[in-house]
Amino acid sequence: MGSLLKFFFLTYAVTWACFITVVMISQGPAPTAPTLALVAGFLLLLGTFTPALVALGITAHSEGRQGVGALLRRMVQWQVGRRWYLFAIGYLPAIKLSVALVHRVMTGSWPRFGTEPWYIILVAIAISTPFQAGEEIGWRGYALPRLAARFGFGRASILLGLIWSCWHLPIFFLRGADKYGQSFPVWTIQVVALSVAITWLYSHTNGSLLLTMLMHSAVNQTVGIVPSANANPGNPFALSVSLVMRLTAAFLWVTALYFLVRMPEVERSHADEATGNLRSDPTVT
């Protein structure tokens, strides 16, 4: 557990230092000055990639090149069933369209829909997927297998979801960010449920980071299919949110509860324990 606690501590320390500095810049007298804008952009990028950088650094120190290579190879682990590619891309759109239908039944009117064409969204998912390595190498590549070894996939997915969500907290105070002034508690409820869904994918693809990166990208690019953000940003700790956001959280948790009940058990060999990699029990479906 020591290396895992070190990972979380260093990831939070570096990321929050970067993000909080950017928040302070955005609230300063000249946040759009070219030099400050450049510094802010670099710090945002550094903070976003910190989970991967810390995970690779700790792995290199404890396991050497072999451990780093094993971790990075999971980014190109593409030989999984086609249904898991469909799950990764289609999970959130299915949730959002279900929310729209229920909204129609409940209120008699359709919610607001996004205007991006579907083919643009698909291109954006493809372009964005490699950049999700900045988070996924850390969260699902390094932290998840170690948490699952101790708590099992189900409890590990919930704990990691809370940690993953809180890691984003400074962004809720960053003017101009899509999360600025949104309800952090309700957003956290959704993120924990998403963490369960991503762990479900991870556990059924033998720990493929390529698939978790793809799903992370798809979530980011399809969340606007049926927008749920508050148009008037307010207190990030407020609980007042749109009906669409409440329904989205409810649908995410309906599916998350199913995944938790049927989550595969962790199967470990001595070699797996040494590297921190886990396999799910193939007898569980």
Share of the chain above pLDDT 90, in %: 84
pLDDT in tens, 41-61: 999 999 999 999 999 999 999
pLDDT-based confidence at 277, cuts 50/70/90?
low
Mean pLDDT of 269-279: 46
Domain ranges of the chain: 77-280
Q: Is the pLDDT of residue 114 over 70?
A: yes
pLDDT in tens, 155-188: 999 999 999 999 999 999 998 899 999 999 999 9
pLDDT in tens, 60-99: 999 999 999 999 999 999 999 999 999 999 999 999 999 9
Q: Is the pLDDT of residue 271 over 50?
A: no
Residue written as tokens 């569980």? 284
Q: Residue 113: its pLDDT value, please?
A: 96
Q: Residue 33: its pLDDT value, please?
A: 75
pTM: 0.92
Mean pLDDT of 96-115: 97
Position with higher pLDDT, 34 vs 237: 237
